[in-house]
Amino acid sequence: MPPKLTRDLLERGRDQQLRLAVTGLSRAGKTAFLTSLVDQLRHAGLEARLDLLPAAREGRLLGARRVEQQDLGVPRFPFDRAMTALDDSPPRWPEPTRGIGELRLSIRYRPRRPGWIGGDVRRLTLDLFDYPGEWLLDLPLLGHDFASWSRAQTLEGERAALFADWRREVAGLDPTQHVEESRLAEIAERYAEGLRAAREAGFSDLQPGRFLLPGELEGAPVLQFFPLPGLAEHDPASLERLPPESLYATLTRRFRHYQQHIVKPFYHEHFRRFDRQIVLVDVLGALNAGPERFEDLSRALSRLMQSFDYGKRSLLSRLFAPRIDRLAIAATKADHVTPEQHGRLGELLEALLAEPLKDLRFADVPVRALSLASIRATETREVEQRGRRQPALHGTTLAGEETLLFPGEVPKRLPGEDFWRRQGFTFTAFRPLPRTDGALPHIRMDAALDWLIGDKLT
Ligand SMILES: Nc1nc2c(ncn2[C@@H]2O[C@H](COP(=O)(O)OP(=O)(O)OP(=O)(O)O)[C@@H](O)[C@H]2O)c(=O)[nH]1
Ligand SMILES: [Mg+2]
């Protein structure tokens, strides 16, 4: 056995290795979270503010270093590029992620009670990986065949209008007939346009993900399929008997190819073996986007979370079939609201994820809900208004304008009609705050770290 693999197995056996799933849809804040996590741990011994992480508070956390990642065939997570953007003048946000990136951190700490194994300083290896959020939504697609997937792609309300061109084109198609290759490509392009428009309009539940971000698959026939409406009117057995050149059989083949050759490898190579998970959700962004988007996000996340294995770990499962035994759900970008609203944000997230949380409780997997800001973009100020002191946020907009604002109230429960009618929440995108004292400024990254890895640092 190669020495690296033996060391990996030994570390896993001793539980000194964790693989953390940072799960979140597109723009949820995964890259910002990973960048901040690495930066906080690198500065842990000195400048980072990590009071909610006992190992750091007690001075036992010595720091972290990037080491050679597990899979050398996967690109490295572009940490340096992200830091260059954040340290720019004015600071910029890291770019949206276009492909997969891996990262392995070796964290050094002193245990509370030094034992004889490994001396006074121990090491925890943390494996992390980043990917475009768009691709994540393909995981639930693995549970479908072409017919059931087609049925599940319902288009209602505003979404239906965004797909109007595609719907016009697909309306006249007969699943039993042959359709020219170039025509299929055109209709698939109309579908991709619909998906892009829906993303632009703030919707989340968008499949297939590679249509939005094809990477090296641009123009390949495997991306030239679309759901077929009206299949329920046909007898399923007779559909299966249609000749290979029929529209139904052609689309089924392409759908299967997409599943087998694109989604499955992505899932198997990157998403199966996790020990811990943090689900990042841009709750405020969804609140800002209105009721239809908000529900769409809730539905997409519920489906998505069914793709992960949760449960208690044992030595055997740790080595051979890892399962997520602890989970954090986090509302990101909490610096967009004043601190007294942060608690509500976590509660609202719990309401948004009520369905998957029921299943997790049943599987007896501990979950913690919190709100955080991986990289702060605002500072809280007290402002006097009509004789009352009130908290407000100060930040610089992306256009460079210094702004002081009262973002409005976050509802505690799933918002009712009243909230949406008032549209009581304003969301302004800000530049990240410049770094002052070493580590990136954050809110509750230390609480998230404590929940996710703190028990391994004792
Ligand atoms: N104010 C604030 N904004 C944030 C924070 N984290 C992320 N953002 C904003 O959200 C945007 C998206 O964050 P990313 O980390 O790139 O999101 P992602 O999940 O990696 O997105 P994809 O790579 O597209 O899947 C950033 O460009 C920022 O504008 C935060 O802690 N505070
Ligand atoms: Mg990203």
Residue 381, Cβ neighbours under 10 Å: how many? Answer: 12
Q: State the distance from the centre of ligand 1 to the C-alpha of 93, rounded, in angstroms.
A: 7
**Which atom of ligand 1 has the smallest separation from the CA of 24?**
19
What was the pLDDT predicted at 238? Answer: 93
- Give, for ligand 1, the residue of 25, 26, 86, 93 to mutate: max count of ligand atoms closer than 8 Å to Cβ: 93
Location of structure tokens 């919707």: 203
Q: Which residue has the higher pLDDT, 223 or 5?
A: 223
Type and span of the H or E element at 144: none
Location of structure tokens 């402002």: 383
Residue pLDDT, tens place only, 54-88: 999 999 999 999 998 877 888 999 999 999 999 99
Token pair, residue 205, equals 């539940």
- Give, for ligand 1, the residue of 22, 23, 27, 345 to mutate: max count of ligand atoms closer than 8 Å to Cβ: 27
Question: Is the minimum distance from the CB of 24 to ligand 1 under 6 angstroms?
Answer: yes
SS3 of 235-249: the string is CHHHHHCCCCCEHHH
The overall pTM is greater than 0.85: yes
Portion of the chain with pLDDT greater than 90, in percent: 66
Q: State the distance from the centre of ligand 2 to the C-alpha of 282, rounded, in angstroms.
A: 13
Give the residue, by CA position, lying nearest to ligand 1 atom 11: 27
Token pair, residue 164, equals 């109007």
Judged by its nearest atom, the ligand closest to the C-alpha of residue 135 is 1
Rounded average pLDDT over 282-307: 90
Residue 301 pLDDT > 60, yes or no?
A: yes
Portion of the chain with pLDDT greater than 70, in percent: 94
What was the pLDDT predicted at 115? Answer: 63
Give the residue, by CA position, lying nearest to ligand 1 atom 14: 29
Q: What integer best gives the mean pLDDT of the chain?
A: 90
Question: Is the minimum distance from the CB of 441 to ligand 1 under 6 angstroms?
Answer: no
Q: State the distance from the centre of ligand 2 to the C-alpha of 94, rounded, in angstroms.
A: 8
- DSSP letter for each residue of 331-374: E--GGGS-GGGHHHHHHHHHHHTHHHHHHHHHTT--EEEEE-BS
Residue pLDDT, tens place only, 16-55: 899 999 999 999 999 999 999 999 999 987 777 899 999 9
Type and span of the H or E element at 222: none
Location of structure tokens 């007690």: 58
Judged by its nearest atom, the ligand closest to the C-alpha of residue 332 is 1
- Backbone angles phi and psi of 184, in degrees to 5: -60, -45
* Strand ranges in 14-68 using DSSP code E only, listed in sequence order: 17-24, 61-67
Judged by its nearest atom, the ligand closest to the C-alpha of residue 336 is 1
Give the residue, by CA position, lying nearest to ligand 1 atom 3: 333
Could you tell me which residues come within 8 angstroms of residue 179 by beta carbon, excluding any fewer than 6 positions away?
Answer: 173, 247, 250
Q: How far is CA 345 from CA 63, 146, 349, 357, 391, in A?
A: 31, 38, 6, 16, 16
What was the pLDDT predicted at 8? Answer: 72
Confidence band (pLDDT; 50, 70, 90) for 211?
A: very high
Half-sphere exposure of 207 (CA within 13 A, CB side): 28
Could you tell me which residues come within 8 angstroms of residue 303 by beta carbon, excluding any fewer than 6 positions away?
Answer: 140, 205
Could you tell me which residues come within 8 angstroms of residue 108 by beta carbon, excluding any fewer than 6 positions away?
Answer: 61, 62, 63, 64, 65, 121, 122, 123
Q: State the distance from the centre of ligand 2 to the C-alpha of 133, rounded, in angstroms.
A: 7
Task: Work out the angle between the directed axes of helices 354-362 and 342-352 (0-180°, nearest 10).
Answer: 80
- 274-285 in b/e burial notation, b at 16+ Cβ within 10 A? bbbbbbbbbbbb
Confidence band (pLDDT; 50, 70, 90) for 371?
A: very high
CA max distance for the chain:
78
What was the pLDDT predicted at 317? Answer: 61
Give the residue, by CA position, lying nearest to ligand 1 atom 32: 333
**Which atom of ligand 1 has the smallest separation from the CA of 34?**
15
Confidence band (pLDDT; 50, 70, 90) for 439?
A: very high
Location of structure tokens 């290896």: 125
Rounded average pLDDT over 205-209: 93
Q: In whole angstroms, give the CA distance from residue 61 to residue 51.
A: 11
What was the pLDDT predicted at 341? Answer: 92
Could you tell me which residues come within 8 angstroms of residue 119 by beta carbon, excluding any fewer than 6 positions away?
Answer: none
Yes or no: say if 49 and 439 are a contact pair by the CB < 8 Å rule. Answer: yes
Q: Which residue has the higher pLDDT, 29 or 217?
A: 29
Confidence band (pLDDT; 50, 70, 90) for 306?
A: confident
Residue 279 pLDDT > 90, yes or no?
A: yes
Q: In whole angstroms, give the CA distance from residue 205 to residue 299.
A: 7
Residue 314 pLDDT > 70, yes or no?
A: no
What was the pLDDT predicted at 5? Answer: 67
Q: Domains of the chain (ranges plus CATH)? A: 3-132+271-377+437-457 (3.40.50.300), 139-267 (no CATH), 380-422 (no CATH)
What was the pLDDT predicted at 308? Answer: 86
Q: State the distance from the centre of ligand 2 to the C-alpha of 201, rounded, in angstroms.
A: 19
Rounded average pLDDT over 184-208: 94
Confidence band (pLDDT; 50, 70, 90) for 319?
A: low
Please report, for the chain, how many H helices and E strands are present, in that order: 20, 10
Yes or no: say if 127 and 33 are a contact pair by the CB < 8 Å rule. Answer: no
Q: Determine if the peptide bond prior to 441 is cis (ω within 30°).
A: no
Question: Is the minimum distance from the CB of 30 to ligand 1 under 6 angstroms?
Answer: yes
Residue 110, Cβ neighbours under 10 Å: how many? Answer: 17
Q: Which residue has the higher pLDDT, 93 or 218?
A: 93
Question: Is the minimum distance from the CB of 285 to ligand 1 under 6 angstroms?
Answer: no
Yes or no: say if 333 and 29 are a contact pair by the CB < 8 Å rule. Answer: yes
Q: In whole angstroms, give the CA distance from residue 307 to residue 301.
A: 10
Residue 309 pLDDT > 70, yes or no?
A: yes
Location of structure tokens 């992200």: 82
